[in-house]
Amino acid sequence: MKMKFRNRESRMRAATASLLTLALTACATTAPVPAKLEPAANETLATIAAAKGVQIYECRAKKDVAAAYEWVFVAPEAELLDVRGHRIGRHGAGPYWQANDGSRVVGTVKERADARNADAIPWLLLSAKSVGPDGAFSKVTSVQRINTVGGVAPAAGCTADTNGKTVRIAYTADYYLFKAK
């Protein structure tokens, strides 16, 4: 079946949506998840959200080391997208995941595993607690961050001259949100 489009922009949007769907599907199935990052047996998948955003770091003086500086993680900022590429929420400091309907959960890291690539932030399993109104995310009990790309703090550039400077490092990840069965 051949689809008809009104103009070039419509064709481009359709092609972009198709490519994004394929990319998200590929990301969601690329690598096995380490056993320690699996959710509890009494949990079931609620939704998958692809995140596209930044990890924010600040240059700060190292504790207990005179005249030494390091990049310190401050917060994530990301849009959460469904498999069609539509924005379904956002992810930020806390960490939190908030759906467009206002429902929100905050997470606490339970387990971590190295990413498949050294230049990517770790994969995580987080316990989650609802801190907002009822809605799409209010029943989420755990969050799994996998298939990370990028987001790692710079290896250099944090000195006395850059103390207090922040950097925003691009990253993507898949967030699997689980709820009780």
Contact 159, 122 (CB under 8 A): no
Q: Is residue 102 part of a domain?
A: yes
Of 89, 97, 92, the residue nearest 75 (C-alpha): 92
Q: What is the pLDDT of residue 24?
A: 46
Within a domain: 2: no
Q: Give the SS3 label for residue 93.
A: coil
* Residue 1 included in any domain: no
Least confident of 1-15, 103-117, 128-142: 1-15
Distance CA 45, CA 23 (A): 20
Reported pTM: 0.82
Please tell me the predicted confidence (pLDDT) of residue 28.
47
Q: How sure is the predictor about 9, in pLDDT bands with cuts at 50, 70 and 90?
A: low
Residue-wise pLDDT for 43-67, tens only, equals 999 999 999 999 999 999 999 888 8
Residue 3 in domain:
no
Total domains present in the chain: 1
In total, the chain counts a number of residues equal to 181
Please check whether residue 60 lies inside any domain of the structure: yes
> Could you tell me what percent of the chain has a pLDDT over 90?
80
Joined tokens for residue 176? 């699997």
Cα–Cα distance for residue pair 30/82, rounded to 1 Å: 17
Kind and range of the H or E run holding 127: strand 123-130
For residue 122, which of 62, 164, 57, 173 has the smallest C-alpha distance? 173
Could you list the residue range(s) of the whole structural domain that residue 121 is in?
8-180
